[in-house]
Structure 1
C-alpha cells in the first residue's frame, strides 16, 4: 500500500517543490496540497492521510496549532514539519512530530524521512539491530564477476558508492562493480557496522578516520584507505552517525 500524503504550506513554490520530490518515490500514491492551516485540517478530514507535511509559519493557524487539532482528529497521521526555521524543533516534538525538515529540502531529506516511515510499516523500527552470530568471522560478501565470484570480508570493505546506475564496493586498493542495489547492501551489511551516511554512500564505521566540517553545515568523512577517500555526509545523518561513532 502506497503512502497518502497531504502537504500544507501557504507558499505555492514550496508546495510544488515538495510535490515534485515526493512524486519521484515509487511508494507514494497520492499527494494533496493545502494552502493554509484551516485547509490542512479540512484535507486531513477528507483524505485521512498517512503523512502530513506541515509548514510551521502560516497566516491563519501555525503549524503547532494545526498539529494539535490533527492529533485530536486522527492520531495515526504522522506529522513532518517542513520549515525554514530550526528554533521550533523542540516545540514540534512536544506535539509528537514524526520528523522535522529544514527548507530548502532535497532528496536526502526525504530519503531520511521515508526510511523511518517505512520502518513503521515493516516493524523494523521496534526491533533490536541484527548482530552477527558469534564466531562467524568467515561470513563474506559474494561479488559476482565475469571470471567468477570474489568473496570479500565485510571488515575489508571501506565504503560502497552509487554513481548513476552503478554500485561499487571499495576495498583498500580496488573497487568492484556489483549487481546489488545500495539498499540490498545496506540490509546485508548493517549487522557488520555499516552506515548509510548519504543517499549514494554506505560506509564501514570502523574505516572512518575523521569527520570534517564542510560548507553550510555539511560534513565529509575521511576514510582510512590508501586514497584517503572523502565521503559526503547528508545533514540528516550527522547526529545518528556521531551517536554510532562516539563513546
Structure 2
C-alpha cells in the first residue's frame, strides 16, 4: 500500500511518518509542496494525507487531481483552520482533521479508512448443510442469534447457519457493525433512525437495543456517523 504525505511544514510530515511507523506494510512518499508532489507521483497511491493550505497551492486542488489519477484513493485533509471543512467534503474526501493532530485520533481515523477499503474486497464465508455464501459486509443488514443458530439477514434473503454471535462480531465489527443486544449485531449503514429501544433499518426491519447496551451503542454509533 502506498501513502502520500504532503505538507510544507516539515515537522508535521515527520510527525505523521512517526504515527504511521506503528503500522506495517506501507510505502510512504513525502512531499513539501504541491509542485514537488505532482512532479514525482508514484505509480499507485491508496491514501493521501494533505495539508489544505500549502505555500504554492491548496490541498483541495491537489486532492481533485489525485482523485482523477487514482480513482480509488482515500484522502485525509489536515488544516489549522476548521473553516475549510466544508470545502473538504465538497470534494468527497474521507476525513478532515484539525491541527494539532492527536496520535490516537489520527490512527483511529486511519484504521477506519483501512477497514472501509478492506470491506470492498473482504467476503464473509458462511455455510450451512445445503449452501455456501460469500457475503460482502455491505450486503448484510443485521445478524440475529437464536439457539446456537445465526440468521444472517441481507436485503434479499435470510441465511440460517450454525454459529455464535461472538464469532460474527469478530468477523464484522471492524466493518461498521455494532452489538446492540445479546442476540443482535446490526450494520450501522442501514440504520434509518432509532426509536427508544428499537432500531429502524432502511429496509423496514426492526432490531432491538437492550437497556444494558444502549448507552455504549449510541456512543459508538454517533462516533461512526460523525466521521
The TM-score bracket by the shorter chain reads 0.5 to 0.7
Structure 2, unaligned stretches of length 5 or more? Answer: 123-135, 150-164, 187-208
Structure 2: distance between partners of 1:130 and 1:39? 45
SS for the counterpart of 1:133 is strand
| Structure 1 position 116 matched with structure 2 position 119 | no
Match of 1:80 in 2: 76
Report if aligned partners of 2:119, 2:138 keep a CA contact under 8 Å in 1: no
Match of 2:33 in 1: 36
After superposition, the Cα gap between the structure-2 partners of 1:116 and 1:11, relative to the gap in structure 1 and judged at 3 Å, is same
Q: How many residues align?
A: 172
After superposition, the Cα gap between the structure-2 partners of 1:32 and 1:22, relative to the gap in structure 1 and judged at 3 Å, is same
Q: How big is each residue's C-alpha offset from its partner over 1:79-133, in whole Å with a ceiling of 9 and x where there is no partner?
A: 1112222221221121121221222221332222322323223326861455233
Report if aligned partners of 1:9, 1:35 keep a CA contact under 8 Å in 2: yes
Structure 1, unaligned stretches of length 5 or more? Answer: 140-152, 155-179, 196-203, 211-220, 222-232
After superposition, the Cα gap between the structure-2 partners of 1:207 and 1:137, relative to the gap in structure 1 and judged at 3 Å, is farther
Match of 1:16 in 2: 14
After superposition, the Cα gap between the structure-2 partners of 1:38 and 1:20, relative to the gap in structure 1 and judged at 3 Å, is same
Runs of 4+ in 1 over 6 A off after TM superposition: 182-185
Q: Choose the corresponding residue for 2:104, options 92, 95, 107.
A: 107
TM-score, length basis structure 2: 0.59
Structure 1: distance between partners of 2:46 and 2:226? 30
Match of 2:143 in 1: 132
Q: CA deviation at 1:56?
A: 0.5
Report if aligned partners of 2:74, 2:94 keep a CA contact under 8 Å in 1: yes
After superposition, the Cα gap between the structure-2 partners of 1:121 and 1:32, relative to the gap in structure 1 and judged at 3 Å, is same
After superposition, the Cα gap between the structure-2 partners of 1:183 and 1:102, relative to the gap in structure 1 and judged at 3 Å, is farther
